[in-house]
Amino acid sequence: MKRPDISVVVLAYRSASTIEGFVDSLVDSLQAAKIDWEIILVGNYLAGTGDQTPEVVRKIADADPRIKFVAEVKQGMMGWDMKSGLEAATGNNLAVIDGDGQMPCADVIRVYKLMVDNGYDLAKTVRVVRSDGFYRLIISRVYNILFKCLFPGINARDMNSKPKIMTREFYQNLNLQSDDWFIDAEIMIKARSLKMKIGEIETTFHSIDSRPSFVKPLAILEFLTNLIGYRIKEFFVK
């Protein structure tokens, strides 16, 4: 069976009220680009919370055979969701984007073209304009500086920005392990270790008013702990 050119994994956790509009815009962008595509909607949920996202993503997928959904009781956070979506994807190139609208869905096409035109193994955005508040801006800048100090030589500025698009070959070499918020950093660390070609394109990161941020102080502590742990592991492996 012929693989689609691109599979777009949309992380839709707790996005029941907004995900339909996001998917409509994403489909319009993919159709306009005239590429063969599929979308994987990840509506994993916490048991007992009354989250309606699984029902919404199931309804969207039922209306279009090019759209699939994954909706299971969560066994982790964003990393677990991302891995479950990537495992369901069949495309030659695999994109991951949050479905809350902070990252423009049109960026999927911009990043895809950047990757294809330049032969990158991994392409992504870098957030040069941010509307999500001073606190998040400072946290992000400090984190990216620390990342580049611990892992010098990486050709990237904004480790957590999406969409991230990778070739299937690169994905198959990643062996992703993170079940938490660290998975973006894990991808970048392994891209550096494998000496993959990385490309970035600038974008605007929007604010969101429909829900509070999922990035809590505990998640920041997880980031720092994992960064140091991966650096120590890399040192001893070498």
pTM of the model: 0.92
Residue 1 lies in a domain: no
Spatial distance between the Cα atoms of 72 and 105, rounded to a whole number of angstroms = 24
Residue 180 lies in a domain: yes
String of b and e for 21-31 (b: at least 16 CB within 10 Å)?
A: ebbeebbebbe
pLDDT confidence bin for 212, thresholds 50/70/90: low
3-state secondary structure of 162: coil
Residue 11 lies in a domain: yes
Query: pLDDT (tens digit, 9 = 90+) per residue, 50-85?
Result: 999 999 999 999 999 999 999 999 999 999 999 999
For every residue of 169-188, DSSP letters joined together read HHHHHH-----STTHHHHHH
**pLDDT at residue 137, rounded to an integer:** 80
String of b and e for 101-129 (b: at least 16 CB within 10 Å)?
A: bbbbbbbbbbbbebbbeeebbbbbbebee
Spatial distance between the Cα atoms of 236 and 238, rounded to a whole number of angstroms = 5
pLDDT confidence bin for 5, thresholds 50/70/90: very high
Residue 89 lies in a domain: yes
- Domain total of the chain: 1
* pLDDT for 208 beyond 90: no
By residue range, what is the domain housing residue 194? 6-237
Per the prediction, the chain carries an average pLDDT of 92
For every residue of 115-157, DSSP letters joined together read HHHHT-SEEEEEEEEE-S-HHHHHHHHHHHHHHHHHSTT---S
**pLDDT at residue 222, rounded to an integer:** 78
Residue 207 lies in a domain: yes
* pLDDT for 131 beyond 70: yes
* pLDDT for 207 beyond 90: no
DSSP 159: T
What CATH number corresponds to the domain at position 37? 3.90.550.10
Q: Tokens 């969101």 appear where?
A: 208
pLDDT confidence bin for 211, thresholds 50/70/90: low
Query: pLDDT (tens digit, 9 = 90+) per residue, 165-205?
Result: 999 999 999 999 999 989 999 999 999 999 999 999 999 98
Residue 150 lies in a domain: yes
Is the bond leading into 104 cis (omega within 30 degrees of zero)? no
